[in-house]
Structure 1
Amino acid sequence: MPDDTVPGEALAAYPTHRYWLLLGAYLTSSVGNWMYRLTLPLLVLHLTGSALATGALYALEYLPYLLLAMFGGVIADRFDHRRVLIAGDLVAGAVACALALFVMAGARPVWLVFALTFLLACAEPLYQPAFQSILPTLVPPRRLATANARVHMGDYALGTVGPLIGATVVMALGYQTAIFLDAGTFFVSALLILFIGRTAARPGRAAARKSVFGDIREGLRYLFGENRIVLSSALLAMAGNFTIWLALADLVFYLTEYHRFTPAQIGVVYAMQGMGAVLGAAAAGRLLRRHPPGTLLTAAMAVGGLAVLCLVPARGPVAIGAAWLAQFAAAGVVGVSALTLRQRLVPERLLGRVLATTRMLGFASIPLASIVTGVLEHALHDTYVILAFVGVSWLLLSVAVSRSPLRDAVLEPASG
């Protein structure tokens, strides 16, 4: 990753191939994640014919984030990041292979599909803290935002094409082959990470350790008591996710019932969302080199709020899609800026735990918002009121950011 703003001596300490291997591994395993997130619900629907069972499987896939995220942070802070990532990929690959063999054998009883799916889903909350923590060791500090932006762009690009890949494989080759291919993506990811080579020794790893829960308390104490900037970014993510999911959780119902969109028109809206996220992430990498993160977060939240308000008068798939494109672009800037800020400010010895906890807080607000929006739609029968509330909420969050500790945040290197 050439960068004229980084001295040649500094760049020499960060061989570019190591970052590209990590990114390739992450995107490869992400393809596997998207394949099983589509394949397994289709399999359960095929086996049971029950929409309730299929919905329960979706919920089961996200439950590990709430149960295991902080333990994943402890693992990331206690052990070598590279080994954690390799182990996570190998375990996920092994579980996926077991699931494929089980499907070949007839997939009975179905509860075992649920159990293996839960084990497979447990890999990601244990994997993510190590992945986000290893990134700052592989790129120069001034290139960290760009590195995060590429990950974010890849996530959303795969979110657009991943389900299509999964559906194509299932239709052409069957469930068990799709799951075997899913397992293969994890093994390829582990191999790519192996090629990264040993990373620099991390200070403090050999020091005496507290208990696991002692480590968790230390991370929570830092987040909630020692760094108001990082805490403000976590609360912003939680509030932003909660409010925007009041709209997203109801989106298909809104497009279908209020606008009578066809599946193809709904696809246009979702495609424009993904395009917006990619564009926003790409812009964030450049903008963070020129503007303080607090300024970017304030502006992005304001743009996102105005974009949602534009949904109230918008009609037609192009107009509605354009508003969502702007909103997701703003959200992309927020996501990359907040993550980069945390990676630069949190001491390395605490980075995994703090990143895991902030991610858990952000995810925890999503199912709650999904329930609340259902209650509101049932009570009000007016999604336009919900959209107006979401837009105003993001504008108010923009004002809150401008008056919070984030206002003075700078991307200083973490210490400790």
Structure 2
Amino acid sequence: MNDNPSGSAATAPAARPSFAAMRVPGYRAHFMTYTLAMMADNIEHVISYWMVFQKFQSPALGGFAVVSHWLPFLLFSVAAGALADRFDPRRIIQVGMLLFMTASLGWGYFFITDTLQMWHAMVLLTIHGVAGVLWQTASQLLLHDIVEPRDLPSAVRLNASARYLGVLVGPAVGGLIMLTLGPSHGILLNVLFYLPLVLWLWKAPYGPRFRKGPAAIKRAVRGFADIAQTIRDIAGNRLIVSMTLLAGCTSFFIGGAYQAQMPGFAHDLGHGDPGVAYSMLLAADAAGALLAGVLLEGSGLLKSSPRTALVLAVLWCTALVGFAASASYPLALALLFVAGFLELSFSSMTQALVQLNAPGEIRGRVIGLFNMAALGMRAFSGITVGLMGAMIGVHWSLALSALVLMTVIGGLLMRFRVRPARV
């Protein structure tokens, strides 16, 4: 059931209103609760990572934290999509939120009792990673029930903006909570930030019960076999294939690995206190992404098409090469700002194109396959940028990774000549 007040389908590419998805009451509720949950996700990272570092000071455990966050997306995204196809996506999201809350409660218990052991931390980090898989894939599927297809690009872009808002605000709120309540009680307070999404979904009028038309045929959930079957199902759709490959390649070669190397970049740029410089570099990337979400929603620029997404990705690579080569701190800030703007632009466009063109009966699986590429492949970006950076330096590793990715995207532009499909 869509609660969009406009019941008639648009037959001409008339200008759509700014922030179109926000005009839907259900989406406004989704956006606010999603943003709170994303903020809580990042608050938990800030507090748990700090406490784990203080107790164990283990680089290996820090590496496990990154792997446990992204590897579940690689292994289970398609399975999570299959579950969302077969069952109510609202309940899948709620299970994810309950796992997030369990992780925060577990951290709180071990912090208060001072009984945290390394294996406890590894279990809690894994629970957190699995929660993210269930949440993200089902949330993307639920958007199709909340907004009309013509407003889906707006909803996807706004959700991406909410993610960056959580990344930007979460660490600040987490730091404030640690200063005022301390990490032990602060992580328990964090549980409450997940509750609004759980409660709203309890009665939200979306999901299979509220859909119009004949019910889709429910396919059995077959675990890893669904990955191969979904690949076969979309093999003939060049648009979905090209956008999924773009998402997977950008995550594999670069992903968010350069953000983990920001302390090194800040130190090499030699601008004032490395801690402050580091924070400003991260903020520039996130601020660029937020501006992209606001500007693109408000102006209606950059109509979605596969070619536009690929060109924007090439420009993103160019900005990162410039950042890696820059010896000027102000120029580095500016290039990261541009990179954040371009990343949100092409990633939200890519996701919207996949969601709009996915067959309805397997939409969850297709979204899961896209998430497997876009998020799961980030587990390997630590090798292309991080480990290679240990051998040749992070500046060279980032620049070379971006140049290789640019070449791959150029191949996609040549290989997938898809007629621009505006959405």
Question: Is the CA contact 1:266–1:317 (under 8 Å) kept in the aligned structure 2?
Answer: no
Report matched runs for 1:232-243 at 5 Å: 232-243=242-253
* Distance in 1 separating the partners of 2:131 and 2:226: 20
Q: What residue in structure 1 maps to residue 354 of structure 2?
A: 342
Question: Is the CA contact 2:82–2:221 (under 8 Å) kept in the aligned structure 1?
Answer: no
Structure-2 change in CA distance of 1:90 and 1:308 (3 Å): closer
* Corresponding position: 1:22 with 2:30: yes
> Which secondary structure state, in structure 2, belongs to the residue aligned with residue 344 of structure 1?
helix
* Distance in 2 separating the partners of 1:371 and 1:122: 22
* Distance in 2 separating the partners of 1:101 and 1:275: 35
Question: Is the CA contact 1:89–1:186 (under 8 Å) kept in the aligned structure 2?
Answer: yes
* Distance in 1 separating the partners of 2:78 and 2:220: 16
Q: Which moved more, 1:114-123 or 1:212-221?
A: 212-221
Structure-2 change in CA distance of 1:263 and 1:72 (3 Å): same
Structure-2 change in CA distance of 1:183 and 1:296 (3 Å): same
Report matched runs for 1:216-235 at 5 Å: 216-223=227-234, 225-235=235-245
* Corresponding position: 1:66 with 2:66: no
Q: What residue in structure 1 maps to residue 16 of structure 2?
A: none
Report matched runs for 1:250-289 at 5 Å: 250-257=261-268, 259=270, 262-285=274-297
Q: Which residue type is aligned with residue 221 of structure 1?
A: R
Report matched runs for 1:24-43 at 5 Å: 24-43=32-51
Shift of 1:283: 4.2
Q: What residue in structure 2 maps to residue 134 of structure 1?
A: 142
* Distance in 2 separating the partners of 1:61 and 1:312: 26
Residue-by-residue CA offset, 1:177-231 (whole Å, 9 max, x unaligned): 22222221222210122242244237545646364455444323223x2322111
* Distance in 1 separating the partners of 2:59 and 2:419: 49
* Distance in 1 separating the partners of 2:113 and 2:69: 23
* Distance in 2 separating the partners of 1:45 and 1:229: 44
Report matched runs for 1:15-414 at 5 Å: 16-199=24-207, 200-201=210-211, 203-205=214-216, 207=218, 209=220, 211-223=222-234, 225-245=235-255, 247-257=258-268, 259=270, 262-285=274-297, 291-311=303-323, 314-381=326-393, 383-393=394-404, 395-405=406-416, 407-411=418-422
Shift of 1:34: 0.7
> Percent sequence identity over matched residues?
19
Structure-2 change in CA distance of 1:355 and 1:399 (3 Å): same
* Distance in 1 separating the partners of 2:70 and 2:285: 22
Structure-2 change in CA distance of 1:96 and 1:312 (3 Å): closer
Structure-2 change in CA distance of 1:269 and 1:212 (3 Å): closer
Structure-2 change in CA distance of 1:137 and 1:289 (3 Å): farther
* Distance in 1 separating the partners of 2:22 and 2:278: 43
Structure-2 change in CA distance of 1:393 and 1:58 (3 Å): closer
Structure-2 change in CA distance of 1:206 and 1:107 (3 Å): farther
Shift of 1:297: 1.2
Q: Which residue type is aligned with residue 253 of structure 2?
A: T
Shift of 1:273: 0.6
Shift of 1:38: 1.4
Structure-2 change in CA distance of 1:327 and 1:138 (3 Å): same
Question: Is the CA contact 2:140–2:367 (under 8 Å) kept in the aligned structure 1?
Answer: yes
Structure-2 change in CA distance of 1:58 and 1:81 (3 Å): same
* Distance in 2 separating the partners of 1:99 and 1:356: 29
Question: Is the CA contact 1:300–1:334 (under 8 Å) kept in the aligned structure 2?
Answer: yes
Q: Which residue type is aligned with residue 348 of structure 1?
A: G
Shift of 1:72: 0.9
Shift of 1:136: 1.9
Q: Which moved more, 1:355-364 or 1:209-218?
A: 209-218
* Distance in 2 separating the partners of 1:388 and 1:216: 32
Q: Which residue type is aligned with residue 372 of structure 1?
A: T
* Distance in 1 separating the partners of 2:316 and 2:119: 42
Residue-by-residue CA offset, 1:278-312 (whole Å, 9 max, x unaligned): 12233444677763412321331232233234335
Question: Is the CA contact 1:268–1:317 (under 8 Å) kept in the aligned structure 2?
Answer: no
TM-score by length of 1: 0.86
* Distance in 2 separating the partners of 1:287 and 1:400: 31
Residue-by-residue CA offset, 1:307-353 (whole Å, 9 max, x unaligned): 23433553332210101111121111111110100110001221111
Structure-2 change in CA distance of 1:191 and 1:295 (3 Å): same
Question: Is the CA contact 1:86–1:190 (under 8 Å) kept in the aligned structure 2?
Answer: yes
* Distance in 2 separating the partners of 1:81 and 1:64: 18
Shift of 1:90: 3.0
Matched positions, count: 405
Shift of 1:98: 4.2
* Distance in 1 separating the partners of 2:248 and 2:379: 12
* Distance in 1 separating the partners of 2:391 and 2:356: 44
Query: Which segments of 5 or more consecutive residues in structure 2 lack a partner in the other structure?
Result: 11-20
Question: Is the CA contact 1:233–1:406 (under 8 Å) kept in the aligned structure 2?
Answer: no
Question: Is the CA contact 1:14–1:139 (under 8 Å) kept in the aligned structure 2?
Answer: no
Instruction: Give the CA RMSD over aligned residues.
Output: 3.1
